[in-house]
C-alpha cells in the first residue's frame, strides 16, 4: 500500500521575525502529533542548494543582477524539490521548510521590483503545480525585526539592504496573505515568544483538525 502523502508546510517572515525558534516549536508540535518531519530550508536544503545559498548570501557578488538572483533562487529550489521535498512527501513525511516561493515574491518581487508574472512563470516551470499546503507568516514591524536581527551574526548580502527594501518585502508578504488567506496564516510576531508560540499552536491544532491528521 502506498503511504499517505505528507504535507508541505512553510514558514516565512522578514529578518528578525523569529523563524528559528518558531520552526522548532512547530516541529515539536508535529512530532507530538505523530508525524514524521523533514525540517529543511531555502535557499539550500541540498549540497548544491547550500552552495548556491553561499553565492547568494555571501559578500563576493555584491553587484549580482536581480535576474541572476531570481534564477539562482529557483535553481536551488529545483534541486531541493527533486532531491528532498518531493521524495519526502511521496513517502509520507511532512516537510517543514524555512522559506519557499512566497519569499521569492516578497524579496525578489516586492524588494527588488521583479514583476510577479515573471516569478509565476518560473514557479510553474520549476514546481509543476506543487505548492505549500500551509504557510505561517510571522509578521512584525520592520524596525522591530531589524532590532532583533542586529543582535545576531553579521548581516548577509540581503540583510544589508535598507529598511525601505524590507518595508516592500513585508508589504508583498501581507498582500500574498490577503490573496490566499486559507493557505497563508499571519501570526503577530511582534509579541513575546510565549504569546507567539501560543498563537502558532492554536493555528496548527486547527489545521490538523481540519485535515483529520
Q: Which is nearer to ligand TMP, 92 or 157 (CB)?
A: 157
Least distance from ligand TMP to the Cβ atom of residue 145, Å: 11
Least distance from ligand TMP to the Cβ atom of residue 87, Å: 20
Using alpha carbons only, give the angle 91, 138, 146 rounded to the nearest 5 degrees: 130
**DSSP conformation class of 191:** S
205: left (phi over 0), alpha (psi -120 to 50) or beta: alpha
Least distance from ligand TMP to the Cβ atom of residue 182, Å: 22
What are the DSSP calls for 10-63, one per residue? Answer: EEEESTTS-HHHHHHHHHHHHHHTT--EEEEESS-SSHHHHHHHHHHHSSS-TT
40 near ligand TMP (CB under 6 A): no
Among residue numbers 118 through 157, which ones bind ligand TMP (CB under 6 A)? none
Pairing, β 94-98 against β 37-41:
parallel
Least distance from ligand TMP to the Cβ atom of residue 2, Å: 30
174 near ligand TMP (CB under 6 A): no
Stretch near ligand TMP under the rule CB under 6 A, chosen from 87-95, 96-104, 126-134, 180-188: 96-104
Least distance from ligand TMP to the Cβ atom of residue 205, Å: 26
Cα–Cα distances (Å) from 98 to 1, 117, 136, 144, 150, in that order, read 31, 24, 10, 20, 20
Q: Given candidates 79, 98, 123, 139, which one binds ligand TMP under the rule CB under 6 A?
A: 98
HEC profile of 124-182 = HHHHCCCCCCEEEEEECCHHHHHHHHHCCCCCCCCCCCCHHHHHHHHHHHHHHHHHCCC
Q: Given candidates 158, 174, 203, 213, which one binds ligand TMP under the rule CB under 6 A?
A: 158
Q: Given candidates 7, 84, 99, 170, which one binds ligand TMP under the rule CB under 6 A?
A: 99
43 near ligand TMP (CB under 6 A): yes
**Burial degree of 86 (CB within 10 A; 0-12, 13-18, 19+):** middle
Q: Which is nearer to ligand TMP, 107 or 173 (CB)?
A: 107
42 near ligand TMP (CB under 6 A): yes
Q: Which residues of this chain interact with ligand TMP, rule CB under 6 A?
A: 41-43, 57, 73, 98-99, 103-104, 107-108, 158-159
Amino acid at each position: 500500500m502506498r503511504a499517505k502523502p505528507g504535507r508541505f508546510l512553510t514558514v516565512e517572515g522578514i529578518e528578525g521575525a523569529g523563524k528559528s525558534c518558531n520552526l522548532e516549536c512547530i516541529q515539536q508540535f508535529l512530532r507530538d502529533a505523530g508525524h514524521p518531519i523533514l525540517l529543511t530550508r531555502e535557499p539550500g536544503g541540498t549540497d548544491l542548494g547550500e552552495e548556491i545559498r553561499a553565492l547568494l548570501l555571501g559578500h563576493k557578488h555584491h553587484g549580482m543582477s536581480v535576474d541572476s538572483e531570481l534564477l539562482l533562487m529557483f535553481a536551488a529550489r529545483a534541486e531541493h524539490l527533486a532531491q528532498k521535498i518531493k521524495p519526502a512527501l511521496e513517502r509520507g513525511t511532512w516537510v517543514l521548510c524555512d522559506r519557499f516561493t512566497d519569499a521569492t515574491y516578497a524579496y525578489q518581487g516586492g524588494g527588488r521590483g521583479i514583476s510577479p508574472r515573471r516569478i509565476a512563470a518560473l514557479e510553474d516551470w520549476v514546481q509543476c503545480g506543487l505548492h505549500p499546503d500551509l504557510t505561517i507568516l510571522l509578521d512584525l514591524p520592520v524596525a522591530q525585526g531589524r532590532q532583533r536581527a542586529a543582535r545576531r551574526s553579521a548581516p548577509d548580502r540581503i540583510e544589508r539592504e535598507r529598511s525601505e527594501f524590507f518595508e516592500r518585502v513585508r508589504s508583498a508578504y501581507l498582500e500574498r496573505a490577503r490573496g490566499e488567506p486559507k493557505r497563508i496564516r499571519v501570526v503577530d510576531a511582534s509579541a513575546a515568544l510565549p504569546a507567539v508560540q501560543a498563537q502558532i499552536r492554536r493555528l496548527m491544532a486547527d489545521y490538523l483538525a481540519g485535515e483529520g491528521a
